[in-house]
Structure formats: structure tokens, C-alpha cells
């Protein structure tokens, strides 16, 4: 099928950057990203590019070049579906918060709504691409919805999971390790492969069956998250034995079979994907009665929860077993650097633990707003909104956060934290001045020399 018009349903962290890069690399294609969230679409259309709803290095430049040329943002979902030969579904697939599978399974209601919408309004044959991360065999359900419209239209379903990481979305999209396309129709697979081949080398475009493609996405995230939990497990052992986790990570990472990436011990992984996708994998394994498989992967989450709890417990214990009424400065709220995304950020859980102990938390993050921080805390439902407001303050300048603080907790590895005048920060704080570096970002010798009581992960 010749592709001229593409529609992407879902203008989020995946839909926006992915389509912007496809548009940039395929000036001959017309791409419309649609969303039911009118505010989000308005933000994508905002003349001031600093107001785009998503912060990603390099994204604004690509949107500047393509928006209004061959990339469009709209709330008119039906027209965009109708006018396109290829439709990407890139909507959210969060963990279910109700009913069967609550807290474990992926909630597919948004995906199903998209499929029903496509079935309802399509008047010509379509290729429907699963871009969202989905449980293995979801394509079967989508196929069933689309093929039962009775209007004689042909639909081909492809699975094309996205592997970009936030903070590096644009470079990941421009230089993907691989593009994965799963499907049943060779013609449909090749139509999508052609879109990517504008910039991705042929050898990096993998074709598989539908189920392998769907399962590969969950598996990739499970393996990545497992590495973080593995090194974090070792970090606790390092703290008990005098070994240094950075040295251990370096030593094992030089083994080419292990590799050096993704071995940074931390306060725990966050982000919208790792936990959700592993819980989903565990749920699927249990649904096939594969209990050992399920238990094995669930341990990755258990370890991560332990690491977050361990961080706040250590902070409280070190501050003489109480943080009640003490000012704790938090540097960073995003789940990693170079993004404004805070979903499942370790900072949320650490702040929640500290608020339970009546700490006063002062938060600085270069890209996250006060409103977002309060929304994240309120979402936990641990205390009232007024109590959260009372326990937390937001500062637009890092120095305001540390003034008279008892301790600093580094939650995100923003580069700017390394460049601060730490002597000046020390001077502003109560003494002894503590740092709990949840990202092993700072130099211990330097911090010790200034006079800080410096604690990091696994050292
Ligand atoms: N965030 C990432 O880094 C990342 C990376 C790879 C894969 N994924 C996967 O991609 C999918 C999307 O993730 P995201 O982070 O972009 O989510 P997101 O929440 O940022 O964006 C999803 C968008 O879909 C819209 N939407 C929901 N239902 C809709 C409907 N029926 N019609 C039109 N719009 C609708 C929402 O309003 C929202 O703006 C998820 O399955 C996720 O697991 C995410
Ligand atoms: O050595 C490491 C590496 C990562 N992290 C943390 O792990 C989390 C996830 O980081 P990362 O994977 O870089 O970001 P995501 O945007 O969540 O990307 C993951 O999830 C996406 C959504 O599915 C996938 O597309 C990506 O391939 C996958 O890396 C963050 O909190 C990181 O700080 C560590 O603590 N130590």
C-alpha cells in the first residue's frame, strides 16, 4: 500500500517525538498527531516552542522545522483517521487501578477505544500500527474489533514498539539500535519499513511475527530494569562490606559479555515504563500459571521498592533518627535528567516517606513545576492536599532550597548539580551539613574536604 498520510493517535512522550522525527526524515509524508486532550494539542501548536508539552533536548528544533509543513497537531481524531493510510496507536497503557488485574495488568481501555474509533470511522483500507507497549497477543483483540465492523474494509495490524528513552528521545529516534516490526502481512510490514528506511539502515530494521514483537518490548524493559535492580542489590552489600559499587560496576562492566551500560547504582529506577511493563509481564506469566517465571521478574520490582525505602530510612537514621521539623532540600524531582517527566520518580516516594516523618521538604528541579510536584504527592493519597502543601515548598533557585537545610537529597542526576558552588551551599546550611547522593553524582573527596557529611549509594 502506498503511504502518503499518517495519523498518530496520542500526542504524548512517544507520539510527539516519534512522529516529529518521522516527519523530518520523510518530507513527502503528511503526518497528523491527534489527541483528545485539547490542552496538550494547544501546547504542541504553541507559537513559543519553549511551551511544548514535552521537554526533550533537540525536539523543539525538529518541531520548528516540520510543524505546519508536513507535521500537524489536531483534536479532530476522526478526520485524521479517515485521511490516513497508516494509523499509529500511541496512547497510554497504564497499570490497571481497578477490577481484575488491578495493580498488575496493563489497562487497555484507551487502546480499545482507539480500535473502536478506527473501526467506526474508517472508509478505506488501513494499516494499524501498535506503537504503545502492549501485552503479548493484544493484536488479536485489536484485529477482532477491526475485522468485525462488517463494512468490508481491510485492516492490517503491525506491532512496532518504541524503544526510545526519555531525555535522549531525539537521538534515540535518529539512531535507533533497531526498529522492530511484527506483523502477518509482508506488504504491510514493508510499507512501514519504507517509512523508517529514510534514515535507519536496512540491517537495523527487524521483521518478526506479531507476538515476538509485542513480547520483545516487555522483555527489553524487564532486562534493563533488572540490571538496575541487580546493581542496586550489590550496592547494599557494598555498604555493609566496604566495597565501592562504582568500582564493582566498572570491574564487571569491562567484561564484554556483561557490558558497561545501565550499571549506575541509584535511589531506584522510575519512569512510566519499567514498573508498569514488568508488572504486566508478571501478570501475563501468572495468567499462564508460570509462577516461577512471575516470581523471578517480580523480584526486580521488590528490589526497587526496597532501594527507595532504604534511601529514606538511611537519611532519617543518619539525622539522629528524626527529621521532624527539619528542612530537607531535594535536588531533582524528574525520574531522570533531561526530562520534565516525573512518572514513578523515586523522588515522589522518598518525599512521601519523609513527609510521614514530618520533615519540611524544599524542592528544586530545573524542569518540573510546583503544580506537578503537588499533583504527584496528592496522587499517592497518603495525606490531604493541604497537608502536602504544608510539608513541601518549591523553589525556583537551588540556593533557596538549601538555606538553613539540615540535609540535601540528590534525587535526579541533572548536570547542573555538579557545577554548583558546593562551598557556598555548605555555608548556607545547618551544621553538620549532610548530603545523601541518590545518584552518586558528586565527588566524595571534594565533599568531605568542604566539610559535608556525604553519603552516597553503595560506597
Ligand atoms: N514514555 C516513554 O518513554 C515510552 C517509551 C516507549 C514506549 N512507551 C509506551 O508508549 C505508550 C504511550 O506512552 P506515552 O509516554 O507517550 O504516554 P502519554 O500519557 O504521554 O501520552 C498518551 C496520550 O494519548 C492520549 N489518548 C489517550 N486515549 C486517547 C484516545 N482514545 N484518542 C486520542 N488520544 C488519546 C492521551 O490524552 C495522552 O496525551 C505507552 O504504551 C508506553 O508504555 C512509552
Ligand atoms: O544505570 C542506570 C540506568 C537507569 N537508571 C534509572 O532507570 C530509570 C529508567 O531510565 P531509562 O531507561 O534511561 O529511561 P526511560 O525513559 O524509562 O526508558 C526506558 O523505558 C522506555 C519505555 O518503555 C523504553 O523505551 C526505553 O528503551 C527504556 O530505557 C530512570 O529512573 C533512571 O534514572 C538507573 O538508576 N541506573
Per-residue pLDDT tens over the stretch 225-256: 999 999 999 999 999 999 999 999 999 999 99
- Report the atom number in ligand 2 closest to the C-alpha of 217: 23
* pLDDT, tens only, 53-105: 999 999 999 999 999 999 999 999 999 999 999 999 999 999 999 999 999 99
**Which pairs count as long-range contacts for 191-196, CB under 8 Å and 24+ apart, including other chains?**
191/1, 191/2, 191/3, 191/86, 191/127, 192/86, 192/127, 192/129, 192/158, 192/160, 194/3, 195/3, 195/6, 195/22, 195/26, 195/29, 195/86, 196/22
Same structural domain for residues 45 and 167? yes
- Structure confidence at residue 1 as a pLDDT band (50, 70, 90): confident
Looking at the fold, whether 410 and 340 belong to one and the same domain comes out as yes
Ligand 2: distance of its center to the CA of 185 in Å?
32
Ranges of H-type helices in 9-94:
15-25, 38-44, 59-66, 77-82
End-to-end CA distance of the chain: 58
For residues 35 and 149, state if they share a domain: yes
**Measured in angstroms, how far is the CA atom of residue 36 from the centroid of ligand 1?**
11
- Grid cell, residue 352, equals 512521601
Q: Please tell me the number of the ligand nearest to residue 232's CA.
A: 2
Mean predicted confidence (pLDDT) in 328-348:
97
Q: Of the residues 176, 208, 240, which one is the last residue of a structural domain?
A: 208
Q: Please state the pTM of the whole predicted model.
A: 0.96
Is 380 found in the same domain as 341? yes
166 and 183 together in one domain: yes
pLDDT digit string, tens, across residues 8-33: 999 999 999 999 999 999 999 999 99
Arithmetic mean of pLDDT, 322-348: 97
**Predicted confidence (pLDDT) per residue in 253-290, tens digit:** 999 999 999 999 999 999 999 999 999 999 999 999 99
Residue where a domain stops, chosen among 166, 182, 208: 208
Domain total in the chain: 2
Asked if residue 88 and residue 12 are part of one domain, the reply reads: yes
> What pLDDT does 40 receive?
98
Rounded to 5°, angle at Cα 343 from 339 and 348 = 105
Which residue owns the Cα nearest ligand 1 atom 6? 162
Ligand 2 centre distance from Cα of residue 271 (Å)? 7
> Which ligand has the nearest atom to the CA of 130?
1
Q: What is the mean pLDDT of the chain?
A: 97
**Mutational pocket test of ligand 1: of 56, 91, 169, 274, the residue with most ligand atoms within 8 Å of the beta carbon:** 91
Q: What is the pLDDT of residues 188-218, one digit of tens each?
A: 999 999 999 999 999 999 999 999 999 999 9
What CATH number should be reported for the domain holding residue 263?
Answer: 3.40.50.720
For 393, left (φ over 0), alpha (ψ -120 to 50), or beta? beta
Q: Which residues contact 383 (CB under 8 A, 6 or more apart)?
A: 355, 391
**pLDDT tens digits along 144-165:** 999 887 778 999 999 999 999 9
126-130 sheet: strands from edge to edge: 71-74, 30-34, 5-9, 86-89, 126-130, 155-159, 179-183, 205-208
One domain for residues 191 and 270: no
Judgement on whether residues 184 and 299 belong to the same structural domain of the protein: no
Per-residue pLDDT tens digits for 120-150: 999 999 999 999 999 999 999 999 999 887 7
Catalytic residues: 273
Say yes or no: 262 and 307 in one domain.
yes
Determine which residue's CA is closest to atom 24 belonging to ligand 2.
Answer: 163
Predicted confidence (pLDDT) at residue 369 exceeds the cutoff of 80: yes
Pocket flag, ligand 1, residue 272 (CB < 6 Å): yes
pLDDT digit string, tens, across residues 55-69: 999 999 999 999 999
Q: Let me know whether 346 and 238 are in one domain.
A: yes
Ligand 2 contacts (CB < 6 A) are: 133, 162-166, 221, 224, 228, 262-264, 266, 269-271, 273-274, 335-336
Predicted confidence at residue 105, as pLDDT, reads 94
Query: Can you give the residue range of the structural domain that contains 138?
Result: 5-208
Residues 322 and 186 grouped into a single domain: no
C-alpha span between 164 and 175 (Å, rounded) = 10
Whether 40 is in the pocket of ligand 1, judged by its Cβ within 6 Å, is: yes
Q: Residue 149: its pLDDT value, please?
A: 76
Q: Mean per-residue pLDDT for 167-182? A: 98
Same structural domain, 262 and 392: yes
Q: Rounded CA gap, 20 and 36, in Å? A: 19
| Chosen domain end from 156, 187, 208 | 208
Ligand 2 centroid to residue 125 C-alpha, Å: 37
pLDDT per position as a tens digit, 423-447 = 999 999 999 999 999 999 999 999 9
Amino acid at each position: 500500500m502506498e503511504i502518503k498520510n499518517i495519523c498518530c493517535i496520542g500526542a504524548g512522550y512517544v507520539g510527539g517525538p516519534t512522529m516529529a522525527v518521522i516527519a523530518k526524515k520523510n518530507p513527502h509524508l503528511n503526518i497528523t498527531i491527534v489527541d483528545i486532550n485539547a490542552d496538550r494539542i494547544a501546547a504542541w501548536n504553541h507559537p513559543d516552542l519553549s511551551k511544548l508539552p514535552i521537554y526533550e533536548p533537540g525536539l523543539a528544533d525538529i518541531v520548528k522545522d516540520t510543524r505546519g509543513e508536513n507535521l500537524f497537531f489536531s483534536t479532530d481524531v476522526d478526520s485524521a483517521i479517515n485521511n490516513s493510510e497508516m494509523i499509529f496507536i500511541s496512547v497510554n497503557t497504564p497499570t490497571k487501578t481497578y477490577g481484575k488485574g488491578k495493580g498488575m495488568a496493563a489497562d487497555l481501555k484507551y487502546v480499545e477505544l482507539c480500535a473502536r474509533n478506527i473501526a467506526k470511522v474508517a472508509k478505506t483500507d488501513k494499516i494499524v500500527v501498535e506503537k504503545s507497549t502492549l501485552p503479548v497477543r493484544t493484536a488479536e483483540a485489536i484485529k477482532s474489533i477491526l475485522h468485525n465492523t462488517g463494512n468490508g474494509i481491510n485492516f492490517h495490524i503491525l506491532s512496532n514498539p518504541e524503544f526510545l528513552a526519555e531525555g535522549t528521545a531525539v537521538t534515540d529516534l535518529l539512531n535507533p539500535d533497531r526498529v522492530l516490526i511484527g506483523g502477518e502481512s509482508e506488504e504491510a510490514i514493508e510499507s512501514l519499513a519504507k517509512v523508517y528506511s529514510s534514515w535507519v539502515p536496512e540491517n537495523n530494521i527487524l521483521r518478526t511475527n506479531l507476538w515476538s514483537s509485542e513480547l520483545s518490548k516487555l522483555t527489553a524493559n524487564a532486562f534493563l530494569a533488572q540490571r538496575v535492580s541487580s546493581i542496586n542489590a550489590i550496592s547494599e552489600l557494598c555498604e555493609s562490606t566496604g566495597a565501592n559499587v562504582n568500582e564493582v560496576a566498572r570491574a564487571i562492566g569491562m567484561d564484554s559479555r556483561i557490558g558497561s551500560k545501565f550499571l549506575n547504582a541509584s535511589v531506584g529506577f522510575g519512569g512510566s515504563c519499567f514498573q508498569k511493563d514488568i508488572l504486566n509481564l508478571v501478570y501475563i506469566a501468572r495468567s499462564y500459571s508460570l509462577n516461577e517465571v512471575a516470581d523471578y521478574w517480580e523480584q526486580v520490582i521488590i528490589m526497587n521498592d526496597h532501594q527507595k525505602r532504604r534511601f529514606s530510612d538511611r537519611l532519617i537514621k543518619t539525622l539522629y533518627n528524626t527529621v521532624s521539623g527539619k528542612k530537607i532540600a531535594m535536588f531533582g524531582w524528574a525520574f531522570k535528567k533531561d526530562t520534565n517527566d516525573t512518572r514513578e520518580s523515586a523522588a515522589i516516594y522518598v518525599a512521601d516517606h519523609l513527609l510521614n516523618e514530618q520533615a519540611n521538604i524544599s524542592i528544586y528541579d530545573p524542569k518540573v513545576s510546583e503544580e506537578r510536584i503537588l499533583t504527584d504527592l496528592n496522587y499517592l493519597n497518603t495525606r490531604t492536599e493541604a497537608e502536602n502543601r504544608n510539608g513541601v515548598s518549591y523553589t525556583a533557585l537551588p540556593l533557596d532550597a538549601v538555606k538553613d537545610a539540615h540535609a540535601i537529597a540528590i534525587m535526579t542526576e541533572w548536570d547542573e548539580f555538579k557545577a554548583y558552588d558546593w562551598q557556598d551551599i555548605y555555608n548556607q546550611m545547618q551544621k553538620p551539613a549532610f548530603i545523601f547522593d541518590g545518584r552518586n553524582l558528586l565527588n566524595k573527596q571534594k565533599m568531605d574536604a568542604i566539610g559535608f557529611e556525604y553519603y552516597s549509594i553503595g560506597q
